[in-house]
Structure 1
Amino acid sequence: MGNQSTPSPQVTKFSALNCIDLSNPDINQSVELLKQACLDSGFFYVVNHGISQEFMDQVFVQSREFFSLPHEEKMKILRNEKHRGYTPVLDELLDPENQVHGDYKEGYYIGVEKGEDDLDSKKPFYGPNRWPSPDVLPGWRETMEKFHREALQVGKEVAKIIALALDLDANFFDQPQMLGEPIATLRLLHYEGQVSDPLKGLYGAGAHTDYGLITLLTTDDIPGLQICKDRDAKPQIWEDVSPLKGAFIVNLGDMLERWSNCVFKSTLHRVLGNGQERFSIAYFLEPSHDCLVECLPTCKSATNPPKFPPILCCDYLTKRYNDTHADLNIYKKRET
């Protein structure tokens, strides 16, 4: 991975992030706020997004119920090669240069549901989800599928503002080959309460950039998320991002950095545990499997040629997932 960090014991301040109100009728104001945020930190809050606080609370309650299950029950739905299902603690290693172990978090991946009879289900990242038995968690699947659908609509609204900020048509990203058939992954996350120590290589989640277009993150009120605006600085300066009740914390992914020719950059971030149990829910919005990610016409010129070669979304995602996740064979060996 190319986005490693140098451990630093200090954090300078809390990061002040712009707040995008999706109910604001003045789209130009939203575009300017978003553009400023993307040029500054690549992170911003989104409020009045249309998902009720009551439903958000319900999703967190049901996430907690899943992670409270016995380990043996969770391992029955271990993630598969399509990246659907449960990911145990230490399964993911995001910053191998600086981490002694994997991330001290467990997770659960839920993608766009594609039945076995759907031709797309043969492609990487598409296919049926893995679900807890309804006898164990009644109504759980229905809650998560509803949240997945509603988060996708929020993501598409944010993508419209991003398109306008890049001088594109508002619906540029909402085309069939992009967000019309997205690889959209809902990921429930649970940090068990381990204390992180960068000087010892211990992290809730190691320093990394996200892979796709954008990520929508909602958290409980326990802090832990940190961002580094300049990944090349020596030493790196890390800033805390405060949880904001009912809001999504949105950040840009690597594909948007490639699309925009580094006008908008994906920002290095990590999670440090402070000994408190912490829950968060991330929604990773990537374009379709066959989308070709190449420099946007508004982001290149004779004096500013494309910095990255074109790449298929599925090829980029496959490499990043393989780089950061444990080989599934290690779990089969443990069972035998």
Structure 2
Amino acid sequence: MPASHARKGAVTDISRQHRFAYLLGSGLLLASMALLLMGASVGSTGFESVLKAWRDPVALQIVWDIRLPRTLGAWAAGALLGLAGAVAQGLFRNPLADPYLLGSASGASLGVALALVFFGVSPLATQWLVRLGLTGAAFAGAVGAVLFTLMLAKGVQHTLRLLLAGVIVGVVLGALSSLAMLMVPEVTQAMRAFDLGSTSFVGWTACALMVGIWLVCMVVAWMLSQVLDGLSLGEATAASLGLPLPQMRGALVAVLALATGTAVAQTGLIAFVGLAAPHLVRSVVKTTHGRLIVLASLMGAVLLMAADVLARWLIAPQELPVGVLTAVLGGSYLLWLMHKSIGPGSGRGAGL
């Protein structure tokens, strides 16, 4: 094949991938708007609240103060987890990396467990701890766990050391959280609710906070996406491009910690969204990390919104913990993907 034809084919393929990425992004935005309308309509009082909202103050309050912020909160939390998942998988060059890989989930659980112990048991709980609250405790625990991981790994220079340190920190802090529940059984029920994840208590303030953090993380991650593109070619290749890897890798870890900590603090531990969202995007379109981060964020938002609507609708007027649905649906998808990738005739080995 002549070189001119090869170049033309490559340009055509890139243009096609750009078009697919644009169509996927547009479809995800449309799905978000449709799910927002569904989220405003689904709840323990049924669809009647939406129909009566304009003439019944109580129905309007249900829609405006409960359902809409909850649905938008699910979008924002899913967007943060999808963004964090894309960053984690690019940073560690591992398709099985998820936002909780640096110990943030275990740190958040430990923070909530300690806050519950102090709130519920100790009459000498200090005033600053009372003001901090469970949300602040979860965020502080998540960020503290990431900082502890960085300290054990002696920085971000060695990806494998950072990964192993995250696993160790997650196991240790998870054990401490279990120990707190064992010593104070009264906190077990609240801890289970946190570990299963929920959007029930998300209000407008939490929505505004998550959207603001998402915008900041999105801008920073998009600006640093060239580092992820370079790392996908190998450490040596990325270094040969003249990129200041330690500083940029540190900034990406900060984005990962901030996005994950914010989402976990508001909604608890919601599994598989950050892991599955980038895989779903890559199964549709092959693109650079700049577009992947945006699309994975939108995909995570749609996944969590859909799971939240299903959690409220399946056994209404009761509801399921949204983390249970994301674990079942996300886990089933990844098992199917793994089976497909290692099936007879796939020729792709065991990698996802």
Shared fold (TM-score, shorter chain, > 0.5): no
- Per the shorter chain, which TM-score range? under 0.3
Query: TM-score if structure 1 supplies the norm length?
Result: 0.26
Q: Which has the larger radius of gyration?
A: 2
Between Structure 1 and Structure 2, the one with more helix by share is 2
Higher relative contact order (CA 8 A, sep 6+): 2
Between Structure 1 and Structure 2, the one with more strand by share is 1
Query: TM-score if structure 2 supplies the norm length?
Result: 0.25
